[in-house]
Amino acid sequence: MQKCFIGLSLSVMMIVMVACGSPEKSQPNQTATPVRTITIRQKPVNEKTTLAGTLQGDKRITLSTKIMGQVLAIHAHIGDRVAKGQLLIKIKSDDLSAKRAQIAANKIEAEAALKNMESNYHRIKELYARKSATQKEMDDTEMAYAMTQAKLKAVEEMEKEINDVFGYSDITAPIDGYVVQKLTEVGNTAAPGMPLMVIEDLSSFKVIIPIPESDAASIRIQDAVEAEFSSDPKHRLNGYVSALSPSAVPGSRQYDAEVRLHGITENLKKTLRSGMFVRIYAGTGQKNMITVPDSVIHRRGQLEGVFVVSAANQALLRWIRPGKSYGNEVEVLSGLDFGDRVIYESTERLSDGDRVEVRP
């Protein structure tokens, strides 16, 4: 009786284990699925590199002064539109004012001395004509007269120079544009060469891009590029490389370049701001590579693969390592060989191992 009970229990357990076990693995479809394929061949592809650029006005000028002095007044602020020749900053220099006053006093003295010497010269000249003055007296008088004239001329040159320097105390706008940076305040001390204000012409734009050393040899002046704005990534503008520095920026191993853009409409221009991020796509030459359409790639988590046709006309899922994207094509770094037939149609119904019928 006990043996029968044990046998019955074992039978029940086996039935439960079969019922609760893993389901059987699905068998490959034995009916051939019609598919179309592309044969893998190496082909030349125009390589592109992506560069980060900064939008900038066509003209950007940093204003400074050539004199030492105190900022007396600022007549424009950030965002203000200014016209060429408009007074922007007034610099006061006590040293220059004192020097100017001294030169003015020297000029008055030189003019008085010349007037007196001119009278004396004419008097000696008349006496010499009547034989009442010696040749030496005449020569000495002529020399003194010439020296007095030269002294006045030198003072006048100094006056002209100081007036020119005084002109640097009035800083005016060199172009029509906008104030994009104000780098000083009233009461600050301005020194020669110190940046005080930045003016930018925003009627036209350019893009400044740093080119890494690895791409520097592949990019040339006049090369065509495409530009993509972060504010409107769906639309790209065409442009070209207009300038390229032959020397790297110290410490960066990057070469500054300028890009000019075509097709900036008035509506687009209203949305653009200096300093905006711009993505530049530049060609770096041709490269032979294997590519497949992005639509044939199957993605499962972090894995990517394509279906290929085996010699036995079966669909095999081949895992690949993708590279860069070129439009609708994706570079394949590994996983495919020349001659492989990649299925590009009816792949959504396929499983690994399914029979397929390749159609032309």
CA dist 1 to 5, 9, 80, 204, 266, Å? Answer: 6, 13, 106, 102, 99
Distance CA 332, CA 43 (A): 12
What's residue 48's pLDDT?
82
| Domain spanning 290-358: CATH 3.40.50.300 | no
- Asked whether residue 269 carries a pLDDT value surpassing 90, the answer given is no
Q: Are 295 and 330 in contact (CB under 8 A)?
A: no
What's residue 360's pLDDT?
82
- Asked whether residue 13 carries a pLDDT value surpassing 50, the answer given is no
- Asked whether residue 8 carries a pLDDT value surpassing 80, the answer given is no
Segments making up each domain of the chain, as ranges? 51-60+202-287, 94-167, 290-358
Question: H helices within the chain, ranges in order?
Answer: 2-20, 94-129, 135-167, 213-216, 266-271
* Residue linked to tokens 């000029």: 107
CA-based max dimension of the chain: 174
- Asked whether residue 6 carries a pLDDT value surpassing 70, the answer given is no
pLDDT (tens digit per residue) in 120-170:
889 888 888 888 888 988 888 899 989 999 998 998 888 888 777 777 888
Segment among 264-273, 275-284, 329-338 with least mean pLDDT: 264-273
Interval 178-206 mean pLDDT: 92
Q: What's the pTM value of the predicted model, to 2 decimals?
A: 0.56
CATH topology (fold) of 94-167? Helix Hairpins (1.10.287)
| Average pLDDT value over all residues in the chain | 85
Distance CA 198, CA 61 (A): 6
pLDDT (tens digit per residue) in 295-346:
999 998 999 999 999 999 999 999 999 988 887 889 999 999 999 999 988 7
CATH topology (fold) of 51-60+202-287? Elongation Factor Tu (Ef-tu); domain 3 (2.40.30)
pLDDT (tens digit per residue) in 171-181:
999 999 999 99
- Asked whether residue 28 carries a pLDDT value surpassing 80, the answer given is no
Interval 66-95 mean pLDDT: 90
